[in-house]
Structure 1
Amino acid sequence: MLKVKIAENQLEKEQAFDIRRKVFVEEQHVPIHIEMDEYDDTAIHFVGYQLEQPIAAGRIREVEAGLGKVERVCVLSEYRGQHIGVLMMNEMEEHARANGIFRLKLNAQTHALAFYEKLGYDITSDEFMDAGIPHKSMEKIVN
Structure 2
Amino acid sequence: MQKVTIAETPLEKEQAFEVRRKVFVEEQGVPLHIEMDEFDESAVHFVGYELEQPIAAARIREIEMGTGKIERVCVLPEYRGLHAGVLMMEEMEQYALKAGLFTLKLNAQSYAVPFYEKLDYVVTTPEFMDAGIPHRGMEKKIT
Task: Say whether the fold is shared (TM-score over 0.5).
Answer: yes
TM-superposition CA deviations, 1:81-100 (whole Å, max 9, x none): 10100000000000000110
**Within 5 Å, which residues of 2 pair with 1:1-143?**
1-143=1-143
Distance 1:8 1:109 in 2: 27
Q: What percentage of residue pairs aligned between the two structures are identical? A: 70
Deviation, structure 1 residue 75: 0.2
Q: Secondary structure at the match of 1:86?
A: helix
Distance 2:99 2:38 in 1: 22
Task: Give the residue type in structure 2 aligned to 1:68.
Answer: G
Deviation, structure 1 residue 142: 1.0
Moved over 3 A (4+): none
Deviation, structure 1 residue 2: 1.8
Distance 1:58 1:142 in 2: 18
| TM-score between the two structures when normalised by the length of structure 1 | 0.99
TM-superposition CA deviations, 1:25-73 (whole Å, max 9, x none): 0000000000000000000000000111100000000001100000000
Distance 1:53 1:32 in 2: 22
Calculate the aligned-residue CA RMSD, in Å. Answer: 0.5
In structure 1, list runs of 5 or more residues that go unmatched: none
In structure 2, list runs of 5 or more residues that go unmatched: none
Distance 1:106 1:2 in 2: 25
| TM-score between the two structures when normalised by the length of structure 2 | 0.99
Between Structure 1 and Structure 2, how many residues are aligned? 143
Distance 1:27 1:40 in 2: 20
Deviation, structure 1 residue 12: 0.3
